Every structure is written in structure tokens, then in C-alpha cells.
Amino acid sequence: MPLNLHTNYEILGTGEPVLFLHGWGSDISDFKAVTNIVSQFYKTINIDFWGFGKSDNPKTSLSVEDYADLVYDFINKQKLKTVNIVGHSFGGRVAVKLCTKYPKSCKSLILSDSAGLRKKLTLKQKYLIKRYKKLKIKVNEGLKDKKVLEKFGSDDYKQLNDIMKQTFVKVVNEDLSDDARKISIPTLLVWGKKDKDTPLYMGKTFNKLIKNSKLIILNGGHYCHIENLQEYSKICMQFWEEQ
């Protein structure tokens, strides 16, 4: 896969480096408030994932591993030996893969309301998936117009270009349980107790899968790092100080 994609990033502060990886559909603004605080004590590196923000759009669909490879390439270009990693939601997926494939580049890991595990589906969701698959077969056989498939999928998915739609399908269908079991670096899990996108049971599952990890539950939902800005920032810095 090509590694010559432009990466938009922001570096603040000096000292030990911390790399922030944002969620799907977001950009460096996801962690902006956090880095404004943390950068008083650490060197914060906040990037736009490829396909989001001001970074280049990929020319082919990417997997979670592809994103991890691109992040690793970025770390090398910044001439960083090891970094502390913070990943929110989709950024957590990439962080898990990064820490298992390139463990020597990662000093510690913080997963915030992270994706990466199979989500329990409701009966309605199961029905819609089954319905979609049946209609897709008919579309492929020429018995239905492909427009019948347009009503399926989230609004975020519908707004993506074709390559990013393919990327989305790749990344959401990958279960990183086996990767999580391989993580050996210090790991902190921070979760919003009312998170509906990546429910708290996922945080508890990650806690069981990742050896010696610690789970902290905060108020709020999927963006607990924003809803509990001061507390979240303090928790992160205390964690790094202990390493």
C-alpha cells in the first residue's frame, strides 16, 4: 500500500511525546481541548487520519492494519523512538493494532471509549442486515435496482465516497480481541458509563483481554474525554507519570 500520503498534524508543547488518534468521521479537533491542557507538560502530537480532516484521501480502501502502518510510518518520519498512544473510538482500533504490530514504538496505551470488539446487535439490526443481504443478492443478479440499497446504512456512511465506504466496511467488521490479548504495555481504559456507541461492556471486555490493564469509568457518553475534560486530562497525566 502507498505510504506517501500527506498527513495533517499539530504538535504542541515539549517533553515526552503523546500521540492522539481520533475517532471515525472526526479530525484533530476531537482531542484539541485535551492537548491544550496536556501540552503544558508533554509534547502532544495530534493527527488527522487519512480520509479525514486535512490529510490526504487514500486512493485505495484501507484496513485497520493499513492505518496502523501509516501511523507507524508517521512516527518514524517524526524520528520518535517510542510514544504514548491515546486512541478514541476508531482511533482505539488503530491504537490496538499499532501496539501489537509495533510494540517497541509504543510506551503506553490509553483507550477512550474504544471500538474494536464485536457489538451486540439488536433484533432490529439483525433483521436489517438480513434484509440487506437478500436485496444485495437480487441486485447482483439484476433483479433489483441498486437504489434499493441506498436506504441502508448510517448517515455518516452514506456521506462517504466509495473508497471510504469500502474502508468503513473493512474496519467495522474486524474483531480485535486476539490483538488485545497480545498487548503487553501499560494500558489504561477510560469509558463513559452512558456510552451508546461503544457501550461500557466493551470497556470491561477490553479490561479482561488486556493483561494488567486498568478501567476507569467516567460520567457521560461516547465523548467522555470532552465531557469530563479536566478530570480526563488529569487521569491521563497521572497514568503517564506512573510509567
CATH value at residue 180: 3.40.50.1820
Residues 6 or more apart whose Cβ sits within 8 Å of residue 76: none
Q: Are 136 and 19 contained in the same domain?
A: no
B/e letters for 79-96, b = 16+ CB within 10 Å, e = fewer, are eeeebbbbbbbbbbbbbb
- In a domain, residue 1? The reply is no
Q: Are residues 149 and 196 in the same domain?
A: no
27 and 52 share one domain: yes
Residues 169 and 180 reside in one and the same domain: no
Q: Is residue 3 part of a domain?
A: no
Is the CB of residue 185 less than 8 Å from the CB of residue 106?
yes
> Is 105 within the bounds of a domain?
yes
Q: Which range of residues forms the domain containing residue 180?
A: 9-118+175-241
The confidence score (pLDDT) of residue 132 equals 46
Domain count, the chain: 2
Q: Do 109 and 139 lie in a common domain?
A: no
- Looking at the structure, tell me whether residues 110 and 134 fall in a common domain: no
Position 179 in a domain: yes
**Is residue 4 included in any domain, yes or no?**
no
Q: What is the structure's pLDDT at 166? A: 86
Residue 217: exposed, middle, or buried by beta-carbon count in 10 A (0-12, 13-18, 19+)?
middle
Q: Are residues 169 and 111 in the same domain?
A: no
The reported pTM is 0.86
Residues 170 and 180 in one domain: no
The predicted pLDDT at position 169 comes to 82
What is the distance of C-alpha 118 from the center of its chain? 14
197 in the same domain as 168: no
The domain boundary, picked from 174, 198, 217, lies at: 174
Residues 193 and 164 in one domain: no
Is residue 25 a part of any domain in this protein? yes
What percentage of the chain's residues is helix, strand, coil (to nearest 5)? 45, 15, 40
> Please, which residues have CB within 8 angstroms of residue 144's CB and are 6 or more apart in sequence?
135, 138
Asked, for residue 2, whether it belongs to a domain, the answer is no
Name the domain boundary from 151, 174, 197.
174
Last residue of a domain, one of 140, 159, 174: 174
Same domain, 28 and 83: yes
Three-state secondary structure readout of 135-190:
HHHHHHCCCCCHHHHCCCCCHHHHCCCHHHHHHHHHHHCCCCHHHHHHCCCCEEEE
| 125 in the same domain as 188 | no
pLDDT of res. 164: 87
Question: What are the pLDDT tens digits along the chain (243 aa)?
Answer: 545 789 999 999 999 999 999 999 899 999 999 999 999 999 999 999 999 999 999 999 999 999 999 999 999 999 999 999 999 999 999 999 999 999 999 999 999 999 999 876 555 544 444 554 555 565 566 656 655 545 555 555 556 668 888 888 888 889 999 999 999 999 999 999 999 999 999 999 999 999 999 999 999 999 999 999 999 999 999 999 998
